[in-house]
Chains A and B, each alone.
Chain A
C-alpha cells in the first residue's frame, strides 16, 4: 500500500519539479500546521508539567522499582519534571524563533517519555485484550500518542533535511528561493512523500487506538459526552445513548484510520482534523477551562491530518499526469 502510494506520488509530484506554485503553497501550509501543532502541544506540556505538576512522568520517576519506577526521591523527581516542562516551553520558543531539528527532537522525546511513563506506571487506558500479555496491554499509550510523537518528529525531519533529501544541502536555487519560513529550502517530492507516510501511519494508529477505546466504552469518553451535552446543549443525555454514540464513534474512528492509509481521499483527512479538534475541545467543553492543557496537548490531532491533506498530491494532478500522452 505504501509502495503504491509512493509510486503515485512520484508520478504526481514530478509536476512539482517544474515550479508548481500551488504545490509549494500547500507545502507551506503543511509545514506551518506541523509547526503550530508542535508548539501548541509543547505549551500544554509546560502547563501540565510546571503549573499543575502531576504527570505520569513524576509518577514513573518517584515510584519504587518494584512497580516499574525509578525510585527517585519525590523532590528530585519534581525537579526533573519541572526541568522537562520548562525545556518543552523553551524548545517551543526555539522552534518559533528558528525551527531546528534539535528542539523538535526534544519535544518528540518528551512525548515518548510520557508514553513510556504511562506504560511503566500502568496509567493508560486499560484495554481489554486478555489474549495479550499484561505488559503489552500497558503499552497502549504508545498507540494513542502516535500522532503527538509524529508531529515534532516530522518537524525535526523537515528541519534537518530541509533540502531535497534528508541531510543533503540545498543545491537548487529555485528550491532555496521557494523555501517556506523556517526551512532552508523546499523539499523534494520523495522527501515529502516520506514525511507524508510517517504522518499517515501515526495518525491512523492514533485514530484506531482511540477507536478501540471507544468500542470498549472508555468511561472517560462517556463522561465527556454526557458533560459536554449537559453544559453546551442543555441536554441530559442518557448514559445508554452516550454508550451507543460512543460505539458509532469507535466504528467511525476505525474506518477513517483505515481510509487514511488506504486511500488518498482528502476529505477523510479534513474530517479527521475536524474530529481531532472536536475531541480535543471536548476536554474543555466537558470539564471547564481549568483543563485547557488537556485540549492543547492534542493539537497534533488537528495539525497532523491538516498537514497530510496539504502535503498529499492533488488527485486531479495525478489523473492528468496518468492520462497525459506524454506519460504513455
Chain B
C-alpha cells in the first residue's frame, strides 16, 4: 500500500526539477553568491582587531540584536561576526524562497488543474508531495553545501571546516524546515493565497518571538524554531544540536502533511471554502471596488501584521535608548538632558535603519496589487471585464490607486505601531511627529518603486520579476551597507539612498520634489504602455 502511494515519485521529481530548473538555479546562485560575496567582503573590511572591536560594540547593542540576531559573547574574529550577523538574514531569504517554490508546486499546480491530470495517471496519491519534498531537500542542501564551499573560498580568518559545514548546512536545513511548514499549510487550506498567508503568519510569529527573546532572554530563543539558526555557535562550540532539532521538526511537519494529503481530496483542504454571497453588495459596483475586495484580505493582514511588527520594534526602544545601561560613567559626565538627547539620537538612528525594512515590506502588497493586473490578465479573469465599457485607463488607474493606498496605509500602520511601542515602553516617548516626518520622507521613494512596477507591467509585463529583484537589492544595500562599508554609489542606485538618514536628518524638499516627478513619469509610462499594448 505504502509503496503504491509513492509510485512514480522519482519520475515526478525529475520532471519538477526540469520544469523549475531556471528558477531553482537563479535562487541557488543568487543566495550562495550573496553569501559568499559578503563573506569575502568581511575578510577585507574586518581584517584587523581594531576594526572588529569597534563593530562589535555596535553589534552588541539591542538595536542590532533586534535586526541581525544575538551576538554571542567572546567574539573575537571576523568569522564570528559574519556567522552571527548573516544567519538571521539568510534564513529569512530561505523562508521566502521555500514558501514561494513549495506553495507554487503544491497548491499552485492544484489550482491550475495540473495535479488532477497527473493524478489520473498511474501515480501514487502522495507522489507529488513526495516529489516536492525531494526537490526541497536537493535545493536546500545544495545551497547549504554551496554556502559551506563559499565560506571555505572566502577564507575568513577564524573559520574551521566543521564550522563552515555547520553554518552552511544549518542554513540549508533551516530552509528545509520552512519548506515543510509551507507543505503542511498547503494541506490545511484549499488555495495558494491562503496557504501563503498562513505560512507567513507562522513565520511572522516566530520572527517576533525570536526578536523579543533575543533581547530579553536569549535562552528562551531555543523555544522558537526560527531562533535555532542563532544557536549554532559557529566557530566556537560548533553545536549541531539545532540542526538535529530542525531535522526532527521537518520530519514531523512533512509526516503531518503526508498524513493530511492521504486523507483529503484533490482541490480540497482541511478547511473548506465557505459559501459566498448570493448577490453582490452595494459596495461592489465597479473595478475600483472589485480590486479593493480582491485585495481586502491582503490589505488587512499586512496592515495588522506590520502594526504588530512595528509595535514589537517600538517596545524595545527603552532597551535601545539607554546608554547609561551600557556606560554608567556617562551619567556623571553629561547632564540629564544631554543624556536624554543622546538616547533619542540612538533611537532615531535605529528608526532610520528600520525604515528601509518597513518600506520594503509595505511595498510588497502594493507591488503585488499592480502585478495582479498581469496575473489576472494571464489567468483570464479580466477577459470579460475588457468586454465591458471599462477602459483600460480606468483599470490601470484603479489598480495603481489601490496599490498606492495599500502601501501607504501599511507603512503608516507600521510607523504607528512603532510609535505605540515607544509609548508603551518608554518613560519619555518620542512624539508622533518624529514618525510622521519619517513617513512623509518615505512617500516619494516608495512611489518611485510603485511607479517602476507600473511602468514594467504596462510596457513589458514579462519582466515583472525585476520589480522584486530591485526591491531586494535596495534592501540589501541599505540593510548591509554600513556593515559592509560599501562606498556611497550603490546607495544612490535606489531612491531610498537619497533619504537614508531620516529621521536623524530631515529630508530636503528638493529631493522629494524630483522623486515625485520621477514617480509621476514612471506611472505615465505605464499608463501609455498599458493602454496601447495587446492584452493576453
A in complex with B: no
